């Protein structure tokens, strides 16, 4: 499935994500030479509808033109097939950002491909790794790390002072590369929002210009650090909505406005119906469902039991089915 090339394909820099299948045969790893040989790795389109990373790379390489890159650059273009339909993934596909080494998924062409990408970059002594994403809810731009180490902080801080440390879900790109180099996932808000491409462009360009990544501690006042404590999911068999329709779970229609806000215990986020109501799942970092520790259902209202900060709350029902309702976080002290 994987194509590895050492030059930019014709028309790559001017092709929309939905047309990329006409330029690339599928998932493609592109190696470009730069002044410093140790390459920066950038992955994008792991979700086919998250196009900011591709646009930022296209603009960056257009601006460099024939000029030498300050550092070698390896670009992994992921789910080209889903991008054709502006979809996160197709129904017959696994999530491309859950199939990297360390995944819980059974072996498949996708898991084998991601292992191949990692081994290719291990052999090239990768300098740093950046995975670029968008999300569907109202979220600020923020960076994620999987390891509490200073060089990871410094790389993430180059994108945002808001940093999320997470260990689940597993099988994600940044986690897979964390034993090779400093790595981060960056969340660039919604596709089409003002300055999303510009922000990703500036981050990639800044990383290309680094001679090294500092190992000294980051000043505590320079970052806002959070830790994911649970991934909240709607049970697969449950019906839900945001418009008050006939369903088992009805969420607040403005629930996505709660993202990155510390919400107090007792805050209502929706309601459930019936005498034996469906409960939300909340999977902690040990893979245990702690939903009933986090949510109360008295009088069929869904209320938070403890102070938490949500991220990635979305009104997109398909994304909720394919991924999750949100992540719940707490502040993390270093």
Q: Reply yes or no on whether the pLDDT at 289 is more than 90.
A: yes
Q: What pTM did the predictor assign?
A: 0.94
Predicted confidence at residue 233, as pLDDT, reads: 97
pLDDT at 58: 98
Q: Say if CB 36 and CB 73 are below 8 A apart.
A: no
Which tens digit of pLDDT belongs to each residue from 83-138? 999 999 999 999 999 999 999 999 999 999 999 999 999 999 999 999 999 998 89
Give me the domains of the chain, ranges plus CATH numbers. Answer: 3-222 (3.40.630.10), 229-331 (no CATH)
Q: How confident is the model at residue 194 (pLDDT cuts 50, 70, 90)?
A: confident
* Cα–Cα distance for residue pair 139/313, rounded to 1 Å: 8
Interstrand relation of 28-32 and 301-304 (parallel, antiparallel or unpaired):
unpaired
Output the pLDDT for position 330.
96
Distance CA 50, CA 82 (A): 10
Q: Is 286 helix (H, G, I), strand (E, B) or coil?
A: coil
In terms of DSSP H, where are the helices of 52-195? 52-64, 80-84, 109-123, 150-157, 173-176
Q: What does the alpha-carbon distance between residue 240 and residue 261 come to, in Å, rounded to a whole number? A: 23
Render 175-212 in DSSP notation, one character per residue. Answer: HHTTTTS-EEEEE--STT-TTHHHHHHHHHHHHHT-SS
Looking at residues 294-323, what average pLDDT do you find? Answer: 95
At residue 46, the pLDDT reads 98
Mean confidence (pLDDT) of the chain: 96
Choose between 207 and 137: higher pLDDT.
207
> Is 12 a residue whose pLDDT tops 80?
yes
pLDDT tens for residues 22-68? 999 999 999 999 999 999 999 999 999 999 999 999 999 999 999 99
CA dist., res. 181 & res. 122, Å (int) = 9
Answer whether 146's CB lies under 8 Å from 58's CB. Answer: no
pLDDT band (50, 70, 90) for residue 243: confident
| pLDDT for residue 276 | 87
Can you give the pLDDT at residue 1?
86
Q: What whole-number distance in Å separates Cα of residue 39 and Cα of residue 181?
A: 11
Determine what percent of the chain is predicted with pLDDT higher than 90. 95
Which whole-number Å values give the CA distances from 33 to 158, 201, 206, in the listed order? Answer: 23, 18, 17
CA atoms of 139 and 327, how far apart (whole Å): 12
Phi, psi of 269, rounded to the nearest 5 degrees: -120, -5
With cut-offs at 50, 70 and 90, classify the pLDDT of residue 146: very high
Please list, in sequence order, all residues whose beta carbon lies within 8 angstroms of the beta carbon of residue 164, skipping any fewer than 6 positions away.
142, 143, 144, 145, 225, 226, 227, 228, 311, 327, 329
Number of helices (H), then strands (E), in the chain = 8, 17
């Amino acid at each position: 499935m994987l194509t590895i090339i050492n030059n930019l394909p014709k028309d790559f820099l001017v092709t929309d994500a939905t047309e990329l299948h006409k330029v690339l045969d599928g998932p493609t790893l592109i190696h470009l030479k730069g002044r410093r040989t140790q390459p920066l790795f950038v992955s994008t389109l792991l979700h086919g509808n998250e196009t900011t990373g591709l646009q930022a790379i296209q603009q960056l390489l257009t601006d460099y033109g024939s000029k030498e890159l300050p550092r070698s650059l390896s670009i992994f273009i992921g789910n080209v097939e889903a991008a054709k339909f502006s979809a996160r993934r197709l129904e017959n596909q696994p999530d491309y950002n859950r199939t990297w080494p360390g995944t819980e998924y059974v072996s498949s062409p996708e898991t084998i491909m991601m292992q191949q990408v990692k081994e290719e970059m291990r052999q090239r002594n990768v300098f740093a790794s950046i995975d670029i994403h968008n999300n569907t809810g109202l979220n600020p731009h923020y960076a994620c790390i999987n390891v509490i180490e200073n060089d990871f902080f410094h790389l993430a801080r180059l994108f945002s002072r808001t940093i999320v440390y997470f260990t689940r879900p597993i099988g994600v790109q940044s986690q897979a590369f964390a034993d090779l180099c400093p790595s981060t996932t960056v969340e660039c808000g919604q596709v089409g929002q003002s300055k999303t491409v510009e922000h990703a462009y500036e981050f990639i360009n800044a990383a290309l210009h680094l001679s090294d990544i500092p190992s000294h501690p980051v000043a505590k006042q320079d970052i806002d650090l959070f830790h994911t404590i649970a991934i909240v999911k709607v049970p697969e068999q449950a019906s839900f909505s945001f418009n008050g329709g006939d369903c088992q779970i009805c969420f607040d229609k403005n629930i996505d406005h709660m993202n990155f806000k510390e919400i107090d215990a007792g805050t209502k986020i929706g309601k459930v119906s019936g005498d034996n109501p469906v409960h939300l799942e909340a999977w902690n970092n040990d893979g245990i469902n702690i939903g009933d520790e986090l949510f109360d259902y008295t009088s069929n209202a869904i209320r938070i039991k403890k102070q938490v900060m949500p991220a990635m709350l979305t009104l997109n029902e398909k994304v909720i089915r394919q991924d999750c309702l949100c992540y719940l976080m707490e502040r993390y002290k270093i």
